[in-house]
Structure 1
Amino acid sequence: MKNTRTPLRAAGKSLLCTTLMATGTALIMAACSSTPPLPREYSQDTLPQAVMVPTGHVVALETRASGVLNYECRPTPSGPYGWVLMSPKANLLDRTGKDVVAYSGPPARWTHIDGSSVVGNQVSVASNGEYNLPLQLSRAEPSTGTGALQNISFIQRIKTKGGVEKTMPCSDLTAGKKVTLPYQADYIFWRPM
């Protein structure tokens, strides 16, 4: 007499393997094809009033900067000597991590990889700790070139880390001394609605 359990058992194992392979393949394909959602659009709810952009403007570009600030010990209008910013230099990355804007100065200038650029004039600042650059709001001058920085109205500098010299004295004895400090910040570019 023939044993019928062996063909049924083999068919069951085959069906189970096929089901597991199909399910596993579907899960892997779904995981590989889905992209993570972009972070929530920037909000200025937690910023000091002094650096908030007025209503009637929308975010055009959110960036994160990493760079250096070059200072020189010089006489200043507000006192005898102080660390005077001579030139900033930073690369700004967009929300996807792509290097899209170069920051330089003076005057403060942001140049996008598409050729558009904008110059900013400081409107106000708010403290962000003793060793961090202050938060800043700048009004944009009319931009040059067409592209991502066209029609920008305001530039915010927020989430600053570093960039302030407090450890080296600056006096007539150290006049002319130069120092380069690393810093990080987020720059948010706004345009009218």
Structure 2
Amino acid sequence: MLHAEGAQIYECQPDAAKQLVWQPREPAAALIDGGNSVGRHYAALHWETVDASTLLWEHKDGSSVKAKIVARVAGRSADDLPWLKFKVMAQTGNGLFYGVTHVQRINTQGGLIRGPCDQAGTYRNVPYSADYVFWRAE
């Protein structure tokens, strides 16, 4: 398990009804172990398929996992990001993340945006923290 601290980034975009709403774009967070930064967590927007539900975790040892959301439940409060379960789609390196098949985001604090957005293409960052649990199939 690693702790994460950072921000959830939102972009003001029209929804299916053509109303401007804040859409989640990506997280930008440091992965922390024992008070030390050991990696980063972000969206895989630069990969071959742009999909905000595909996220990446990179460890300083060179290992990484790319995973897609497969389940969600509400956070503890109305201001907390949901708890998520991810299925790993790809991995690299032989470090800490080697063999990881699933990731869970739990213990979220903050990260949900409030209020209207008035101009398409604007961004807002909302601070959040969470714990990420990395599971290996045995």
TM-score, scaled relative to structure 2: 0.84
Tell me what 2:48 maps to. Answer: none
Matched, 1:120 2:58: no
- CA shift, 1:88, in A, is 1.5
Matched, 1:147 2:95: yes
Tell me what 2:38 maps to. Answer: 100
5 Å-filtered alignment, 1:1-193, equals: 62-77=1-16, 80-94=19-33, 96-106=34-44, 107-128=54-75, 129-166=77-114, 168-170=115-117, 173-193=118-138
- CA shift, 1:83, in A, is 1.2
RMSD across aligned positions (CA): 1.7
- CA shift, 1:73, in A, is 0.8
Cα gap change, 1:144/1:79 in structure 2, threshold over 3 Å: closer, same or farther?
farther
SS across alignment from 2:100: coil
Question: Which structure: greater strand fraction?
Answer: 2
Q: Distance in 2 between matches of 1:66 and 1:75?
A: 29
- CA shift, 1:75, in A, is 1.6
Question: Which structure: greater helix fraction?
Answer: 1
Answer whether contact 1:68 1:163 (CA < 8 A) is retained.
yes
- CA shift, 1:111, in A, is 0.4
Q: Distance in 1 between matches of 2:16 and 2:89?
A: 25
TM-score, scaled relative to structure 1: 0.62
Q: Distance in 2 between matches of 1:135 and 1:78?
A: 27
Q: Count how many residue pairs are aligned between Structure 1 and Structure 2.
A: 128
Tell me what 2:50 maps to. Answer: none
Stretches of structure 2 that go unaligned for 5 or more consecutive residues are: 45-53
Answer whether contact 1:88 1:104 (CA < 8 A) is retained.
yes
Cα gap change, 1:155/1:78 in structure 2, threshold over 3 Å: closer, same or farther?
farther
- CA shift, 1:90, in A, is 0.7
Answer whether contact 2:67 2:90 (CA < 8 A) is retained.
no
Higher RCO, Cα 8 Å, sep 6+ = 2
